[in-house]
Amino acid sequence: MSALAVEAITSRHGLLTAVHGVSLTIEPGEVLAVVGANGAGKTTLFRTIAGLHRPAEGAVFLGGIDITDVPAYGRPHLGLSMVPEGRRLFTNMTVRENIQIACEQTGRSRKTFGAVLDALPVVRTLLGKPAGGLSGGQRQAVAIARALVTAPRVLLLDEVSLGLSPAAIDTVYETLAALKLGGEAAMVVVEQDLDRAMGFCDRLVCMLEGKIVLEGKPKDLTREEVSQAYFGLHKGSNAHA
């Protein structure tokens, strides 16, 4: 059974249709990269899956269960967690409290907390620090820890590397690669860096104006194809003119 299935989701912001009939499935342990230009609807799709945005049409299934009507706060408990665009840590709290909140609200154990710290040693050194004073890379690490402590079966990561230094991006992807090896959680990542996305994922979808315009395994896609889809140049075989 798929870990996550999105069926014909349409999401609007007022009159603007940001996501238009998108369907996706992700298998357990799979890593899916979502790419697409600014405004393509990636964040809206993620927010709809996480329950922060109500879809106008369509349904979301988690492990085969229809969660379309489950409120956002009920989803982490069921195994769906999202690292939102901009991380959005609780800046008035310590790193420990940031992670503790997710842990206690979803009823996970101290053991899970410990295991997450083992997987992200850098976070252990930051526990007592206020989350407001961290560097971008540190913040992303804490946001990932905060999501992992809910023991997700599906982890959504929006704009993984936005605003991070190249070194910090490497570190974040090392962490994610280790998670991928662990193989428990399926991951869906939004990544602007095409090479990065193609190098890391098992499968890639490209969104354009609210629709999926290209989907495939990285080995079956050329960079050329992907960037044409990204900029909307691929329509039909004679669109290159």
Partner 1 sequence: MLEAIVQGVLLGGYYAVIAAGLSLMLGVVRFINLAHGDLAVLGAYLALAAIAFLGLPVWWAFALVLPVMAGIGWGLQRFLFARTLEGGFLLPLLATFGLGAVLQNGMQGIFGSETRSLANYMGNLSWAGWQLPFGLYVGVLPVLTFAAAVIVLGGLQVMLSFTKIGRAMRATSTDPEAAELQGVDARRVQRVATAIAFMLAGLAGMFLAMRAQVTPYAGPAQLIFAFQAVIIGGIGSLWGTLIGGIALGVAQSLGASISAQWFQLAGHFLFFVVLAIRMSSAGPTRERVLVWFDRIADALRLRTRGERKHAD
Ligand X SMILES: Nc1ncnc2c1ncn2[C@@H]1O[C@H](COP(=O)(O)OP(=O)(O)OP(=O)(O)O)[C@@H](O)[C@H]1O
Q: Would you tell me which residues interact with Mg ion (CB under 5 A)?
A: 42-43
Nearer to Mg ion, 21 or 39 (CB): 39
Alpha helices, DSSP H, located in 34-109: 42-50, 75-78, 95-105
Q: Residue 13 interacts with ligand X (CB under 6 A)?
A: yes
Could you tell me the two tokens for 1? 């059974």
Cα(76)–Cα(219) distance, rounded to whole angstroms? 33
Min separation Cβ 109 and partner 1, Å: 14
Q: Residue 223 interacts with ligand X (CB under 6 A)?
A: no
Q: Residue 18 interacts with ligand X (CB under 6 A)?
A: yes
Q: Which does 129 bind (CB under 5 to 8 A by kind): partner 1, Mg ion, ligand X, none?
A: partner 1
- Which residues, including other chains, have CB under 8 Å from residue 166's CB and lie 6 or more apart? none
* 74 to 113: interface string for partner 1, x by CB under 8 A: x-xx---xx-x---xxxxxxx--x--xxx-xxx-------
Q: Which stretch binds partner 1 (CB under 8 A): 21-29, 123-131, 168-176, 190-198?
A: 123-131
Min separation Cβ 47 and Mg ion, Å: 9
The dihedrals phi and psi of 95, each to the nearest 5 degrees, come to -60, -45
Enumerate residues 126-185 that contact partner 1 by CB under 8 A.
129-134, 146, 150
Region of 15 (left: φ > 0; alpha: ψ -120 to 50; beta: rest) is: alpha
Three-state SS across 135-176?
A: CHHHHHHHHHHHHHCCCCCEEEECCCCCCCCHHHHHHHHHHH
Count of other CB atoms within 10 angstroms of residue 18: 21
Enumerate residues 29-88 that contact ligand X by CB under 6 A.
36, 38-44
Closest by CA to 82, choosing from 179, 18, 166, 153, is 153
Enumerate residues 36-55 that contact partner 1 by CB under 8 A.
50-52
Positions that interact with partner 1 (CB under 8 A) = 50-52, 71-74, 76-77, 81-82, 84, 88-94, 97, 100-102, 104-106, 129-134, 146, 150
Positions that interact with ligand X (CB under 6 A) = 13, 16, 18, 36, 38-44
